[in-house]
Chain A
């Protein structure tokens, strides 16, 4: 019997303490001297990055800085040209089922011929969960992402925000320990985005997932992350790394008015401005 409680990783509980420096032995993702060349063009060079268990890392940077490529390398979708990516200590040569990817374009990442329940079932089928449990697990996951009772709807009957929730629900069905998110809220309107940001934080704190979150939105990075790294282009490399000293749970109003939030926003903004051409 698989239930929601099982979907919660029984590892590091989330709390206010976790942002205060990660133990080296608790590193979940280790990127070592990673370089990626695609079609003869260097996209990423010399990336060294460690992400702790349960850490929420945000990645910012302008277009063409290799944010998505870095995410794909961690997902095992793009092979390193040099260096390596370790997930839970083992090299990432191909995707793993405990590493889930939320793609930016939700409309292209859902199966249009399957209902919401069917889309979640795809992940359960991949995990070989017995078929008779599918509808119950799917219903629980839909409930958790705020789509309770919408299981029979097809993706084209759902709004953009709801489709992205559905994609997140399918990722949760993988029982991931790591969530890789590629500008998941970039295409959504501001109100929907803020709502989803808070729901994501709740989900992450309930599951204890490690999150690698790519975004264009500097405020979003500061609001969500425990740490923010900024990439600079030609070829992509890490240009800035800042810790976020804002207590959790975060709040759309008070957190965004906090002096530390404003300072961070300014720091990231100056960084991005400084690397524009």
Chain B
């Protein structure tokens, strides 16, 4: 089970590794008396990060990135979920969409950026589209699998009770598939941040990725690394929130073996 790794009683021990690594880096940096145009001491990175947070620039960039990521996630996850449920439920539709989805899915999300710029120009439209497309495929594939993995015996119980199509979906298939669909959503959330930052780094003048590029081009390694660490922290925080939600929502079902 994924959540076990993040359970609160394990957190302090797990925290020891990064703390020790950072301390070792700092000590090594100071002891060797290094000066560098491409790297920065952990303490310098931390100071720059606190500075950027205090003057608001990092928070504004965070807001921009999250807005694009969540907007794209909302669209992509919804479309992917709808298509995934459709494919998982109706065999003929599944067959019909198979070639199309499998042909489009392997296209790297970063490869979409040039074409999307042609259509939307720079801005949220570009970024949300790239995020949405990547999330669509992930959600589609995983929610389809979640529906197909629903215990056939439960479907038969629905048949024997003569539940109609809609009640069968809402009372049996969806609740049974929900834990897996939630895991898919968690993966999509992580993906949305990756694609959003990638888009910002490669093209879009918005958000954390763009600020990171600006810092890099103005030869400020401490600020560049500060953004990197901050992005990692945001991603970790998002996952923590979702893992906790998952445990709260599906703890009971996960016990029965619906975990993934």
Q: In the complex, which residues of chain B have a beta carbon less than 8 angstroms from the beta carbon of A168?
A: none
Within A130-187, the residues touching B (CB, 8 Å) are 154-156, 174
Cβ B157 vs Cβ A109 within 8 A: yes
Given A112-B258, A154-B252, the answer on whether A125 and B154 have CB atoms closer than 8 Å is: no
Task: Determine the interface band of chain B, counting residues with CB < 8 A from chain A.
Answer: 20 to 34
- Given A109-B154, A112-B252, A112-B253, are A77 and B159 neighbors across the interface (CB < 8 Å)? yes
CB contact between B162 and one of A97, A111, A154, A155 (< 8 Å): that residue: A97
A122→B176 CA distance, assembly (Å): 14
> How many A-B Cβ pairs are below 8 Å?
58
Instruction: Give the distance in Å from the alpha carbon of A35 to the alpha carbon of B256 in the complex.
Output: 38
Chain B residue numbers with a CB within 8 Å of A111 are 154, 171-172, 175-176
Interface string of B239-254 (1 = CB under 8 A from A): 0000000000000110
- The yes or no answer to B17 lying at the interface (CB within 8 A) is no
Q: Please, how many angstroms separate the alpha-carbon atoms of A52 and B153 in the complex?
A: 29
Q: In this assembly, does B151 line the interface, its C-beta being within 8 Å of a C-beta of chain A?
A: yes
**B255 within 8 Å of A (CB atoms):** yes
Q: Are A113 and B252 touching (Cβ within 8 A)?
A: yes
Whole-angstrom distance between the Cβ of B25 and the nearest chain A Cβ: 47
- Please provide the chain B residues from 147 to 172 with a CB less than 8 Å away from any CB of chain A in the complex: 151, 153-154, 156-157, 159-163, 167, 171-172
Instruction: Report A-chain residues with C-beta under 8 Å of the C-beta of B171.
Output: 111, 122, 125
A87 close to chain B: CB less than 8 A: no
CA distance A125 to B176 in the complex (A): 18
CB distance from A7 to the nearest CB of B (A): 16
Cα–Cα, bound, A95→B163 (Å): 10
Cα–Cα distance between A107 and B257 once the two chains are bound (Å): 11
Query: Is B167 a contact of A125 with CB atoms below 8 Å?
Result: yes
Known A108-B154, A109-B153, A112-B256; judge A100-B175 contact (CB<8 A): no
Residues of A within 8 A of B159 (CB): 77, 94-95
| CB neighbours of A100 from chain B (8 A) | 160
Residue of B nearest to A101 (CB): B160
Specify the chain A residue showing the minimal Cβ separation from B256.
A112
Say yes or no: B161 contacts A97, CB within 8 Å: yes
Interface residues of A in 92-114 (CB under 8 A from B): 94-97, 99-101, 103, 105, 107-109, 111-113
Q: Are the CB atoms of A103 and B161 closer together than 8 Å? A: no
Residues from chain B with a CB closer than 8 A to the CB of A97 are 161-162
Q: Max chain B CB contacts within 10 Å: which of A97, A108, A112?
A: A112
B153 neighbours in A (Cβ, 8 Å):
103, 105, 108-109
In the complex, what distance in Å separates the CA atom of A174 from the CA atom of B252?
27
Point out the residues of chain A lying under 8 angstroms from B175, CB to CB: 111, 113
Is A126 in the interface zone, CB < 8 Å from B? yes
Of residues 47 to 73 in B, which have CB atoms within 8 Å of A's CB atoms?
Answer: none
Query: Which single member of A75, A108, A113 contacts B253 (CB below 8 Å)?
Result: A113
Q: Is A34's CB within 8 Å of the partner chain B? A: no
Residues of B within 8 A of A105 (CB): 153
A75 touching B151 in the complex, CB below 8 Å, given contacts A112-B256, A125-B167, A125-B171: no
Q: Counting CB contacts under 8 A, is A123 at the interface?
A: yes
* Cβ contact of A126, chosen from B154, B161, B256, cutoff 8 A: B161
Contact between B252 and A103 (Cβ–Cβ < 8 Å)?
no
Distance from A131 Cβ to chain B, minimum over Cβ atoms (Å)? 13
Compute how far the CA of A154 lies from the CA of B159 in the bound complex, rounded to whole angstroms.
Answer: 22
A123 with B161, Cβ < 8 A, contacts A77-B156, A109-B153, A111-B154 known: yes
CA of A53 to CA of B91, assembled, Å: 40
The contact of A95 among B151, B162, B167, by CB within 8 Å, is B162
Q: Across the two chains, which residue of chain A brings its CB closest to B152?
A: A108
Which residues from chain B contact A112 at a C-beta distance below 8 Å?
A: 252-253, 256, 258
Q: List chain B residues, Cβ under 8 A from A101.
A: 156, 160
Assess whether A174 is in contact with B253, with CB atoms less than 8 Å apart: no
Chain A residues with a Cβ under 8 A of chain B: 75, 77, 94-97, 99-101, 103, 105, 107-109, 111-113, 122-123, 125-126, 154-156, 174
A-B contact pairs, 30 of them (CB 8 A): A75-B160, A77-B156, A77-B159, A95-B159, A95-B161, A95-B162, A99-B160, A100-B160, A101-B156, A103-B153, A103-B156, A105-B153, A108-B154, A109-B153, A109-B154, A109-B157, A111-B175, A111-B176, A112-B253, A112-B258, A113-B175, A113-B253, A122-B161, A122-B171, A123-B161, A125-B163, A126-B161, A126-B167, A155-B256, A156-B252
Taking beta carbons and an 8 Å cutoff, which residues of B are in contact with A? Answer: 151, 153-154, 156-157, 159-163, 167, 171-172, 175-176, 252-253, 255-256, 258
Sample of 18 more A-B contacts, CB < 8 Å, known A111-B171, A113-B253, A156-B252: A77-B156, A95-B161, A101-B156, A101-B160, A103-B156, A103-B157, A108-B153, A108-B154, A111-B172, A112-B252, A113-B175, A113-B176, A122-B161, A126-B161, A126-B162, A126-B163, A156-B256, A174-B161
Which 10 pairs, one residue from A and one from B, show the smallest C-beta to C-beta distance? Answer: A126-B161, A108-B153, A112-B256, A95-B160, A101-B160, A108-B151, A97-B162, A156-B256, A113-B175, A126-B163
